[in-house]
Structure 1
Amino acid sequence: MITTSAVHSKRWLSIIIALAVVLRLGAALYLGDRVEVLPGIYDQVSYHTLALRVLDGHGFTFPSDWWPMTRAGAPTAHCSFLYVLYLAGVYAVVGVHPLAARLLQALVAGVLGPWLAWRLGRHVATETVALAAAAITALYIYFIYYSAALMTESFFILAVLAALERALALAERPSWGRALQLGLALGLAALLRQLILAFVPCLLLWLLWQARGRVRWGQLLAPLLVIALLILPWTVRNYRVFHRFVLLNTNAGFAFFWANHPIYGYDFPGLLPPDGPSYQDLIPMELRHLDEAAMERALMQRALGFIWEDPGRYLLLSLSKAREYFKFWPSAASGVVSNVSRVLSFGLFLPFMLYGLVRAARDWRRWSLLYLFVAVYTLIHLLSW
């Protein structure tokens, strides 16, 4: 039987979703039917270019020398294959119209973002909290902005929300269907941004602890199998073009090398100053003849060498990244759009986030998965980005 309160809640959720869709469609229309370098969304040029190359039959290659050190016509695995295929699919159907891809993405994000936040909130708190989570998701400026950008962020966030929601559902009532759904959500998240793979072992250990005695070993292994099946075709593709093992993407070594380079000393500046060396300048000359996969592996080894030579510097440098990671104030190094987005999203909601973290500690076991994700995801970025 559907109660009056349930009808009232669904009505509010529908209003929130409608508002989210309108705001995101507005952002998509504002960015328009062109692809250009804009604050915080530089990578959309790369994704758009790769999609055009795939459509023209050139595969995952760039028409000219490209960021970070990929030569013209050479195979690349630096960007998300799945997102490139999304863009290529949209362009194949409606023509090369970035606005179409923006509008579709904005619609999906506007509907699923608040809905998944609401479902997640119902697992750990009350209906009121769930609706508040949906409303914040709808109004959060960063979410609105990135929902219109031709980049992985929006779809990745949706996949993460779905994974967390399915993990909570699996812990509450284990079933094979929920285990497979969890694997699908995690697999899609990995195809969009592979760093989520570092969280998977933590998630499975949490499930083992939270649902011990009720969840079967096979239901814990099923998500891993689904993830492996989704990644395997790209691992095979990478071996064929690079002649070496590359699990999925080739960006980790580059990011780890740049994030921990000795040029920073003990204090991470966020971005290299414009009057100093560029990120490409930091790549040693003796490595620049290598293909993308070999260079990525060599840079990872160099970065690990930096840490081995001075672990104290690495620790202090990682701690200093917290300033940039949690920055909520305007910065002279940022443009107007970036500063306004930062202050009116993270800056505006940070006090409520902190209050929520403290308040939820009263029922920490129910909220433990969300605490775990926040801690692990933050640690990954502080230590490696």
Structure 2
Amino acid sequence: MAIRVAWVLATPDYRLVHDALDYNRHAISLANGDGFALSYGRETAFRPPTYPIFLAGVYWVFGPSLEWARLANALVGTGIVALIGVIAHQVWGNRVALIAMALAAVYIPQILIGQSVMSEPLFTLCMLGAIAAALRGWVIPAGVLIGLAILGRSNALVLLAPLAWALWKGPRPALIMLLAATLTIAPWAVRNYVVFDAFVPVGTQFGSALAGTYNSEAMNDRENPASWRTLKRVDDYRPIFNQLRVTPEPVLEKRLREASLEYIKDHPGAPLKVAFWTTRRMLDLAGWDWAIHTAGTISAGKRAGAAGIICFWVFAVLAVIGAFTRRARDAPLWLWTVPVLMYLGVVFLVVETPRYRTAIDPFVIMLAALAISAVTAKRAQVP
């Protein structure tokens, strides 16, 4: 907590950029009792609700202060460190848990995303909480927490499968978990049905995520191939985007999704190209300038962004070593499906680091802790 609070206090020039502007706008509107803010003059479900509501609670208590918003995310980041320790303790015991928490406390990419007004830290906290609950066999808390994670980022829907696997002692516990998750999501889905007269369980981002990546400009970009771009700059979908202000969001999302899928049909190699480049970007191996640029999307400066990249590379090397340890193989298989599914949830769309790696990084940290634990244990055995 001290590290994260110090970072916030040491960067008073923080400015809202990109998605953070939307989260802040919705939170202020909610804190004032006016509901979710309009988008382009019409109702919206583009931003899932968990983080805007959390931020609205902070603003309702302390006023609409960016410093308090960032301090609240510092608290969330501290919770992530704690839950990394809890999960490591449940699976591997005290030694690995203490090493994992020590590593997580100083892991720069998590500190950077934690100092921003972004949804990923709260999403990751809910996801890790659901995993810890599942490891304990706590069915309803696991369902509620994964429901909140889904309402933070809709790609968490895929995590219902490994959690059901973790709780499987016959169908009853898994079904109760699914019911708890469904009931957690239901109020937002009902709100969307009332507002749009359409079934929108979480959000309306998928169409724009597809369209921003699967277009001629992105695919023919020689400097940053297959990189997502705002639809304002995409000629392929101009006729759809020009109707933005007069088209309900679910209708717009459907049109963009259908047009993107048509593009993929005409260019069947496009998903593989996207997956190749997004994987490189996920590993910060697609060029130094691009990695620094995407760190800037969470208002991280160039030096901080560079430090985060180097820190990730060090941890990634340790994680690869840790993945080949016996204790990594001893962990429940379903646990390792979580980072794999989180990777698959973005690899065919768009990746910005460290943002979109936030839900994967805890597993990198735990594997790194296994590597250090294995090395120190061997040294302890040397006479």
2:225 paired with 1:269: yes
Task: After TM superposition, list the pairs within 5 Å mapping 1:145-160 onto structure 2.
Answer: 145-160=112-127
Structure 1 gap segments, 5+ residues each: 1-20, 63-69, 171-177, 209-214
Give the TM-score normalised by the residue count of structure 2: 0.79
Query: Is the Cα contact below 8 Å between 1:166 and 1:181 reproduced in 2?
Result: yes
Aligned to 1:234: 188
Which whole-Å CA distance do the structure 1 matches of 2:129 and 2:76 have between them?
Answer: 13
| Structure 2 residue 135 is the aligned partner of structure 1 residue 168 | yes
The equivalent residue for 2:336 is 371
Contact 2:277 2:286 in 1 (8 A): no
C-alpha distance in 1 between matches for 2:287 and 2:303 = 10
**Quick one: distance in 1 between partners of 2:218 and 2:241?**
21
Cα distance in 2 for residues equivalent to 1:271 and 1:317:
8
TM value normalised by structure 1: 0.79
Q: Provide the residue aligned with 1:174 in structure 2.
A: none
Tell me the amino acid that sits aligned with residue 269 of structure 1.
Answer: P
Please say if residues 232 and 241 of structure 2, whose CA atoms lie closer than 8 Å, have aligned partners that are also in contact.
Answer: no
Q: 1:103 matched to which residue of 2?
A: 71
In the aligned structure 2, how far is the partner of 1:316 from the partner of 1:23? 39
For 1:92, the aligned partner's letter is: W
Measured in 1, the distance between the counterparts of 2:287 and 2:255 equals 37
What residue number does 2:98 align with? 131
CA spacing shift, 1:30–1:292, aligned 2, 3 Å: farther
Pick from 285, 298, 301 the counterpart of residue 255 of structure 2: 298
* CA deviations over 1:14-54 (Å, ceiling 9, x no partner): xxxxxxx01111122234496423xxxx3211111112222
Matched-pair contact (CA < 8 Å) for 1:184–1:227: yes
Cα separation, partners in 2 of 1:96 and 1:206, compared to 1, 3 Å: closer
Tell me the amino acid that sits aligned with residue 92 of structure 2: A
Structure 2: distance between partners of 1:22 and 1:344: 22
Q: Which amino acid aligns with 2:80?
A: G
* Matched AA of 2:67: L
Aligned length: 334
The gaps in structure 2 that reach 5 residues or longer are: 294-301, 351-383
Of 143, 146, 163, the residue aligned with 1:183 is: 143
Q: Is contact 1:78–1:251 with CA below 8 Å preserved after alignment?
A: yes
State how far apart, in whole Å, the 2-side matches of 1:205 and 1:265 are.
38
Query: Which of 40, 46, 57 lines up with 1:71 in the alignment?
Result: 40
- Cα gap change, 1:117 to 1:302, in 2 (>3 Å): same
Partner residue of 2:23 out of 34, 47, 61: 47
Distance in 2 between residues matched to 1:149 and 1:206, nearest whole Å = 32
Counterpart position of 1:16: none
- In the TM superposition, residue 304 of structure 1 has moved relative to its aligned partner by 1.9
Is 2:203 the partner of 1:249? yes
Match of 1:311 in 2: 268
Q: 1:96 to 1:168 in 2, by over 3 A?
A: same
1:281 and 2:233 matched: yes
Query: What is the CA deviation profile of residues 67-93 of structure 1, one whole-angstrom value per residue up to 9, with x for unaligned ones?
Result: xxx413x11111131211222222222
Q: Is the 8 A contact 2:142 2:177 kept in 1?
A: yes
Equivalents in 2 of 1:130, 1:168: separation in Å?
Answer: 15
**In the superposition, relative to structure 1, how do residues 316 and 292 fare at CA in structure 2: closer, same or farther (>3 Å)?**
same
- Separation in 2, partners of 1:287, 1:101: 32
Q: Greater relative contact order: 1 or 2 (C-alpha under 8 angstroms, separation 6 or more)? A: 2
Percent identity of the aligned residues?
27
Are positions 1:91 and 2:59 aligned together? yes
- 2:4 aligns with one of 19, 24, 30: 24
Which amino acid in 2 is paired with 1:36?
Answer: L
Query: For the Cα contact (< 8 Å) 1:80–1:249, is it kept in 2?
Result: yes
CA 1:133–1:34: 2 relative to 1, 3 Å = closer
Aligned equivalent of 2:175: 221
Give 1:127 deviation, angstroms.
Answer: 2.1
Q: 1:363 to 1:314 in 2, by over 3 A?
A: closer
